[in-house]
Structure 1
């Protein structure tokens, strides 16, 4: 989505608080159109925070505590050091200006601004620009930054996108809003590094709203759900003949015996008992005695 006014401030990261009247961000004049590589000359930390600050609207709170709370990577001390480096690089100047008391007021009133320039400027340029600056009327806006819970792997992956490409610098609220979608990617088998590569690949020259851009990409490129593997069927068990130990399928060994052993068992079932053998022997002796009896007569 393109903006009609190319000089207008980019959308602010969600939930970033505005400063009290007389404080906050002021965009320096002669801002150039945002383009890739605006902050590539800076170290990664400063480039990340520069891209984040560049998206903030006029009068956004620019103190280190608020900036630390509004983005997910750096604490107050790191932000304070980064702001100092951005000042030395020519992107930022803090200004305190005395304002005459209004009617009915007494004493001196001071306003405090942090002037921001997308292109780096030298000291001479800043001196001439700030001398001719006129402070505009202030509008007080209240906002609340929600506390961020301990980051998940998905949240941390989103938070670090701004280090890979400053155009994707996200606020803490942005990361929280996109965390569920990123978690779904990881649940479907995507590694954090693979997710980062997908999200930073082929970026347009300008990313006006990193949060909206990444939400669209997370939805449109969502990988398919993991296929649930079908559990492998266990091989059918092989039995062994209880008598001889020969293996065989269950249905081939009724009663636990193979065919041969079952056959031997039937033969044994029909064998004469010892009493039957004795009866036969006695009968044979009687027949022999009967045959011999007439010969003796």
Structure 2
């Protein structure tokens, strides 16, 4: 049940579970030159959006911004409510989801970030800010290229690292898990499709389904993404029920296919230009900043003109 007349001063979670951080280079990014927090922040928003905004605003830089992490770390709203609130905050001008190319040479990869502003801004401001951000070198660029991380997702509690690895551990033994379990010799694309049902049971595919979709998924890998990125893109923003997992995944593989990475350039380039795309806060589809209004792509705006 939503709490009425919430004060923006309620900026800490009422949950004892600490909010997780995203991997380095991912997660929350606050826009520069913001005013200090005030009691009047977010007072014009509805109760639910006001509470989620106050919670997000209090999170540190690099905090995980995926729906599952936000819903798990605060007690008042579930995943569907948090997803709707984030969409409303994007429309109100407080946030934008983006994908950035990070790294140098052959080590470039896409990372997902959420830019957050305590002050609401219009579409023109966000377009200008993201256009400038695209050519602004990221301080962690080199680290991300050496040690790439998966697309922002809820992270498990970190396990202690042993002083030295156990003897005789081979990669094949580490994949001995319950079905669906890819067998040796299967492609990374087939393996990623087979694991979709673990990430979300609504997208459970049969072996025949995986074989039929393998070539379409392989094209994603050919464009520089990894299994975690593919899984995140296919499972983001799922409807309450999926009647045909095969048809749903086939369409997303086609509609959300990322662009090809630019050709590798000589190492003589000191500071690589970072490419940036905005993600629709409703469906997650990527595009250029100027193609979005209120954080929504054209198809989502047409579905909900209000």
TM-score greater than 0.5 by the shorter chain: no
Provide TM-score, normalisation by structure 1: 0.41
The structure with the larger Rg is 1
Select the structure that is richer in helix: 1
| TM-score, normalised with respect to structure 2 | 0.40
